[in-house]
């Protein structure tokens, strides 16, 4: 099931995409007054648990048969699935990116100093800590945007980049979650473009505290176009993905080589720490899935498309 948040008269609404992908069902309107509280927002639906999702499914099936309470998807302004999530944690679990990103940073550092770009190669393996545990940082949950936006280029940066990521949306809260139950805490998946100001990131990470303004700027966390529920994605590692820039395929990849899966992340983060419904766990960049790894940065006016099979396509223009 594909669930979206969209702009309507009077504010935000949540809807389900019909099986043919042509229409959005207004779940709250189609409920005809039944349990509308759990259909007031995506976060309310997630917090409503199995009963709320079953209700949404039943409403969608009926509306798909009758054609009621639908509007064309092509005429619908989609927003981020959860416009203000309770938390965003972004991980780094793809070895290709972990190995290649530092090489890109070395090249960028040389270029910014006016030196020749060195011919350096990725390390043969990731640092051991990346295999020992999931590595992540917390980013700005208020800087989230949805699909088809023009992303504002931060004035302080000259090196804008995209990042091809999958994100899990948490269903249930809790702490000290064990591996056996971890999957039940995943509501579904969406696409995440972690836009990055690489020159700023290069400078500030010398402080050993992780990215700040290199990641946290308005419109920096792009998500969508919707959430695909977990039952539609039986094997995350089997997903294939790609990036297109201005209509040309820039890179293709897959999730098969994750060092840690989302269940591992949930187990690790929940140790003596309470997780909440609606939190976003970003996978980190797939190997080859950003410009830094290819030493190719975005230009103003570029049209960037991230695609994951089964999930969909997330599109943005660089302003």
Of 2, 148, 167, whose CA–CA distance to 78 is shortest? 148
Q: What's the pTM value of the predicted model, to 2 decimals?
A: 0.97
| CATH number given to 2-78 | 2.30.30.230
Q: What pLDDT is stored for residue 210 in this prediction? A: 82
Please state the φ and ψ torsions of residue 18, each to the nearest 5 degrees: -65, 155
Within the chain, how many helices (H) and strands (E) appear? 9, 19
Tell me the mean pLDDT in the region 181-204. 98
Whether the predicted pLDDT of 213 surpasses 90: yes
Of 34, 7, 202, whose CA–CA distance to 109 is shortest? 202
Of 7, 4, 78, whose CA–CA distance to 45 is shortest? 4
Q: What superfamily in CATH does domain 88-318 come from?
A: Fumarylacetoacetase-like, C-terminal domain (3.90.850.10)
Torsional sign, CA 280, 283, 288, 294: positive
Q: What pLDDT is stored for residue 9 in this prediction? A: 86
Q: For the chain, give every domain's residue range.
A: 2-78, 88-318
Q: Is 251:285 a contact under the CB 8 Å cutoff?
A: no
Asked whether the domain spanning 88-318 has the same topology as the one spanning 2-78, the reply is no
How do residues 237-261 score in pLDDT, each as one tens digit?
999 999 999 999 999 999 999 999 9
Q: What pLDDT is stored for residue 157 in this prediction? A: 97
Whether the predicted pLDDT of 35 surpasses 90: no
Work out the pLDDT band at 33, boundaries 50, 70, 90. Answer: confident
């Amino acid at each position: 099931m594909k669930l979206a948040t969209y702009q309507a008269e009077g504010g935000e609404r949540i809807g389900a995409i019909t099986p043919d992908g042509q229409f959005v069902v207004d779940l709250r309107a189609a409920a005809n007054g039944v349990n509308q509280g759990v259909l007031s927002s995506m976060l309310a639906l997630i917090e409503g648990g199995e009963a709320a999702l079953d209700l949404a499914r039943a409403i969608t099936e009926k509306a798909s048969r009758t054609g009621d309470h639908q509007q064309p998807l092509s005429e619908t302004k989609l927003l981020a699935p959860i416009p203000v999530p309770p938390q965003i944690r972004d991980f780094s679990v793809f070895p290709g990116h972990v190995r290649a990103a530092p090489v890109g940073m070395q090249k960028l550092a040389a270029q910014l100093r006016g030196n020749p770009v060195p011919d350096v190669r990725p390390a043969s393996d990731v640092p051991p800590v990346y295999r020992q545990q999931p590595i992540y940082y917390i980013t700005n949950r208020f800087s989230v945007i949805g699909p088809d936006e023009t992303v504002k280029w931060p004035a302080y940066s000259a090196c804008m980049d995209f990042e091809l990521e999958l994100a899990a949306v948490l269903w249930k809260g809790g702490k000290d979650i064990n591996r056996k139950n971890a999957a039940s805490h995943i509501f579904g998946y969406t696409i995440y473009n972690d836009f990055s100001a690489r020159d700023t990131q290069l400078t500030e990470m010398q402080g050993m505290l992780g990215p700040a303004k290199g990641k946290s700027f308005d419109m920096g966390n792009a998500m969508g176009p919707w959430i695909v529920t977990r039952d539609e994605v039986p094997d995350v590692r089997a997903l294939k993905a790609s990036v297109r820039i201005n209509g040309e395929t820039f890179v293709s990849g897959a999730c098969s080589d994750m060092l840690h899966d989302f269940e591992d992340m949930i187990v690790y983060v929940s140790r003596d720490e309470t997780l909440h419904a609606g939190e976003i766990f970003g996978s980190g960049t797939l190997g080859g899935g950003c410009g830094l790894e290819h030493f190719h940065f975005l230009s103003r006016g570029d049209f960037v498309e991230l695609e994951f099979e089964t999930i969909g396509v997330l599109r943005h223009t660089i302003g």
